[in-house]
Amino acid sequence: MKIALAILAAAALGFPFVFRGPYPQHLAILVMLYALLGSAWNLLGGFAGQVSLGQAIFFGAGAYTSTLLAQHAGLSPWVGMIAGALVAGALALAIGYPCFRLSGHYFAIATIAIGEIAGIAVTNWDFGGGAVGLFLPVGTEGLLSFQFHRSKLGYYYVLAAMLLATLLLSAWLRRGRAGYYWRAIREDQPAARSVGVPALRFKQIAIVLSAALTACAGTFYAQYVLFIDPGSVLPLSLSIQICLVAVLGGVGTVIGPLLGALVLVPLSEATRVLLGGSGRSLDLVVYGLLIMLISVFEPAGIAGIARRLGLTAR
Amino acid sequence: MSFRLALAIAVSAALGARAASPQEVVIGAVYPLSGGLAKVGNDIKSAIELAVDIVNDDIDLPLPLAKGKGLPHLGGAKLRVVFADHQGAPEKGLSEAERLVSQEKVAALMGSYNSNVTATASQAAERLQIPFLNADSTSPLLTTRGFRWFFRTTPTDDEFSENFFKFLDEMKKKGKAAKSVGLMYENTLFGTDVSKFEKKYAQQHGYEVVADVAYDSKATNLNSEIQRLKAAKPDVLLQASYTNDAILSTRTMKELDFRPQAILAMDAGHVASEFVPAVGKDADGIISREVWALELGEKKPVVKKVNDLFRKKTQATRGQAIDMDGTSARAFVGLLVLADAIDRAGSIEPEKIRAALEATDIAGDALIMPWRGVKFDPKTHQNTLGQGILVQIQEGKYRVVYPFDLAAAQIRWPLPAWGK
Amino acid sequence: MTCELVAQALVSGLLAGFVFALIAAGLSLIFGVMEIVNFAHGEFLMLSMYLSYFLNASLGWDPLVALPLNAVALFLLGVLVYYALIRRVLRAPMLAQIFATFGLSVFLQNLAQFLFRPDFRMVATTMATGRIALGGVFISRPQLVAAIGAVLTTGLLYWLLTRTETGKALLATAEDRQAASLMGIDPDRMFALSWGLGAACVGVAGALLSTFYYVFPQVGGIFALIAFVAVALGGFGSVTGAFLGGIIIGAVESLAGVFVAPAVKNIFVFAIYLVVMLVRPRGLLGKQ
């Protein structure tokens, strides 16, 4: 596990020096972004077993908070990122309180419904730019202003650091008391409760952490693309994509979401590049087929395959 | 071993062939080729491919670069267009634009229909310093960003909205006075933008806005939307809809018996090629702003010739002959404008193409559009010679009715009651 | 006037609601029997609508006449999907089940675009056209026919479930899989049957919808989302609950659209659902 992490970290550090073009670097940024989002989802959906299909709400909260603060108060995106994480955390508490009474499919559908409400509400929210969205002004380049124009290296390393921190946090949590409680809740909530696990509190902790990390990714996205609108940061398809990354990689493992993103993002890009230009959506036909095959033949995800091959310890 | 050798020979032959050919100019085109807007995206793709054929082959048409093969100032180099699919997602538009520049080494970019995707894709072009030509996004915002590398040939929603009210003023002089307008628009960038300008110009021209109905274009029904309009009783309905909601709203208006004196539609869904087939004679009387009409062929024979070629092309590649519409015609012209600039630049160096685009001056006669020509504003890079027309659906055909001096048919006003 | 407006909003909403209800009933049946949410439900609807369209375009068949054919075709599709896909994820974790049907939905939707092209298509001729005027209230005839068809089909389904041996066996399997199999009921066959019946419901709904709604590859998604909410609102697994849920959604959507603002009408739909969730976590008629 540690060796695998070290290899991955070295590969991540060296990647931009081998692949210098903007497109491969963009691809790597997408991989890391989805790995980050998948890891954040995994805290709630994988460790604690609460399947959320509304992660886009938190992503959008991060993107909108930092962007609006930058536009109206001139605040640095870094401050905006913290503020976004706080807003998302508060939203998560508000969502979790009623929804954690639901379980399984009921919880998943409730998060879809809340996600849809958020999407429609922001679309009709004039101050937030409504359907038109918000453009971030192109400002000075640099780490402080969180904008890099001439090369993507700045974005690349900022995101790599964020991802590393998330992975370490998730490994630490998994080993600690929280991880232990979460597993108990996931496997059998009534039983966990009967032996004194404060189930609601630990589910709340999971959703707040998951939301805060997702919001940080949202701020990153806003700074990277410099344009946000409800269609790009709040759609149901994003929530599903996030969940898919974690499921494909291996639910409930630390490295799973990263593996999932490493396979899924290049795969979806490759099918689109190779087959998408035909305009007949053959790429998505293949994509759908692959999702079905994976859920039928390897529900434990890539981490499951790796485990079977003895590449990682449990 | 022999296999590897054969492979090596094949590869070197391919590389050699590429180097030996005079030059091939590659243009990238980022459009919505799958998802909800796939139909529009594929129409655009066919139109661009047709324009490429016209440049590359020797065809006798009074259009830029039609005669002779390829680009004369580049030693007859052929054009090739690489298409990319953005699926309507701004972030994919950005990445596809970057990919086309860095992997496919395109000399210039075109795109992207959806205004919000055009916004991000052109931003990628701006960062990478590659010319970006937009032929079909009408959000006024796009040319106010002060970009150096962004050029737009189509007129914008601002101009189109004002045109509606100029038209209403002229109708007033003809004794068809409308006092109030109702707005109905889909609630994403396109509709919301249009509604803002319509409200602004309604006030300037002295019309009362009695209904303001935004709706979700993915709605399963538009009953409540139409009921609101019916209750507000506007004289004229100004509508901005995509294809599915244009069809649905027209049918619902009939079912709920809502009939204003006139419907002025903002292009898009109301001029899509499946609109009239889907609603049949219920479409009659609807007026839409247009950038183009097949009927322009009566005054400009080249329009009809190009449309015949387009039908042939779509029959061959998509198994179904499709008529050009405003969107495909603009994409067609967009490619020719870009090719013309590359040819005048005599180079595929981005800065030279950019300079050539700035110097573009194409006369209206050399276009299949009702425009006075193509000439970009030196600052905003918006085409200053574009103009819109109004068409009315009469017996299932789009007839040009305004400006009155270009009109090919008499305008019918008011709309007849349903069932008459 | 206002009175007329309310009446019109209610009538329009209910007419739409009955069709939502039929789609939701099929979804709920599948869930009730085997606890799997069919994310490809909307795509089944889309395929049924295409069937109506192509029968109409090539053979001139009225969708209403060809309706039994839709039901049979979709029944077979449902059974096929069960044996080819669902049976393999029966014992898999819930997430694998979600993504099996989600993958199917992506696959079918884009296969449809590949085969049928992205164009919007509309059935050209059907006997159900025009409208009926009742005072100031207008009723669209195709929508009325669809609503009646939806009520009849759900009634038939209800009768099948409660009054026939097979139906009772199906309900018994839903109640307790183990006990049912001890009584000699083959759960595998019952699962296949529930997929067949669930899909046949959308088959009928697709034929009814195609008389007044256009078909395109993405058409299913819009209806499926509403059906999910209807099912969750009424209670997963309860066919009557889902039916009730569909009708409530139709009415709420329409009233909110007329009296609040059309652009946010779906917020009310989702909000009503959330409120119900708070009071009754398993829906209006779900097993609490």
Confidence of residue A279 (pLDDT cuts 50, 70, 90): low
State yes or no: pLDDT of B3 exceeds 60.
no
The mean of the pLDDT values for chain A is 87
Contact with chain C for residue B256, Cβ under 8 A: yes
Q: Is the confidence at residue B332, as pLDDT, over 80?
A: yes
For chain B, say whether A123 makes contact (Cβ under 8 Å): yes
Set of chain B residues whose Cβ sits within 8 Å of the Cβ of C117:
39, 42, 318, 320
- The pLDDT value recorded for residue C1 is 52
Q: Kindly report, residue by residue over B401-415, the tens digit of the pLDDT.
A: 988 877 888 899 889
Interchain CB contacts (distance < 8 Å): A and B: 98
Q: Among B44, B183, B217, B223, which would you mutate to test the C interface (most chain C Cβ atoms within 10 Å of its Cβ)?
A: B223
Residues of A whose CB is below 8 A from C104: 288, 292
Residue B12 confidence (pLDDT):
44
The residue among C120 and A40 whose pLDDT is bigger is A40
**pLDDT tens sequence across A110-167:** 898 899 889 888 988 888 888 778 888 777 778 888 888 777 888 999 999 999 999 9
What number of CA atoms fall less than 13 Å from residue A13's CA on the CB side? 7
pLDDT at A280 over 80: no
Lowest mean pLDDT among A53-67, A71-85, B263-277: B263-277
Q: How confident is the model at residue A13, as a pLDDT? A: 83
Cβ separation A101–C281 shorter than 8 A: yes
- pLDDT category of residue B116 using cuts at 50, 70 and 90: confident
A80, pLDDT greater than 50: yes
- Asked if B239 and B214 touch (Cβ cutoff 8 Å), the reply is no
SS3 category, B176: coil
* Cα C11–chain centre separation: 20
What's the CATH architecture for B2-155+298-374?
A: 3-Layer(aba) Sandwich (3.40)
Residues of C in contact with A251 (CB under 8 A): 93, 95
CATH 1.10.1060 fits C2-279, yes or no: no
Name the residue among C261, C263, C274 with its Cβ closest to that of A113: C274
Q: For the CA atoms of chain B, what is the radius of gyration?
A: 22
Q: How far is B256 from chain C (nearest CA, A)?
A: 6
Q: Which of A213, C235, B59 is nearest to C243 (CA)?
A: C235
- How many whole angstroms separate alpha carbon B257 and alpha carbon B261? 13
Point out the residue among B85, B116, B187 whose CB comes nearest to the CB of A133.
B116
Q: What's the pLDDT band for C272 if we cut at 50, 70, 90?
A: confident
CATH no., domain B158-290+389-402: 3.40.50.2300
Nearest chain C Cα distance for residue A114, angstroms: 7
Between the alpha carbon of residue B405 and those of residues B168, B169, B252, B400, the distances in Å are 16, 16, 34, 10
- What is the predicted pLDDT for the residue at A63? 96
Best mutation site among A105, A286, A289 for testing chain C: the one with the most C CBs within 10 Å?
A105
What residue spans define the domains of chain A?
Answer: 18-236
Give C140's strand partners: C131
Tens digit of pLDDT for each residue in B144-159? 888 999 999 999 988 8
Instruction: Tell me the range of A212-226, A272-286, B80-94 where mean pLDDT is highest.
Output: A212-226
| Residue C175 pLDDT | 81
- Portion 191-210 of B in contact with A at CB < 8 A: 191-193
Question: pLDDT (tens digit, 9 = 90+) per residue, A298-308?
Answer: 777 777 777 77
- B30, B40, B127, B317: which to substitute to probe chain A, counting the most A Cβ within 10 Å? B127
Encoded amino acid at C42, one letter? G
The mean pLDDT of B371-397, rounded to a whole number, is 91
The closest of C239, C243, C67 to C160, measured between CA atoms, is C239
Alpha carbons B303 and B339: distance in angstroms, whole number: 19
Q: What is the mean pLDDT of chain C?
A: 88
* Minimum CA–CA partner of A114 in chain C: C270
Quick one: average pLDDT of B29-54?
A: 90
Is pLDDT above 90 for B291?
Answer: no
pLDDT tens string B212-263: 998 887 778 888 899 999 999 999 999 999 888 899 899 899 888 899 999 9
Contacts of B256 in chain C (CB under 8 A): 8, 12, 138
The partner residue sitting opposite A149, judged by closest CB among B35, B98, B127, is B127
Sequence spans of domains, chain B: 2-155+298-374, 158-290+389-402
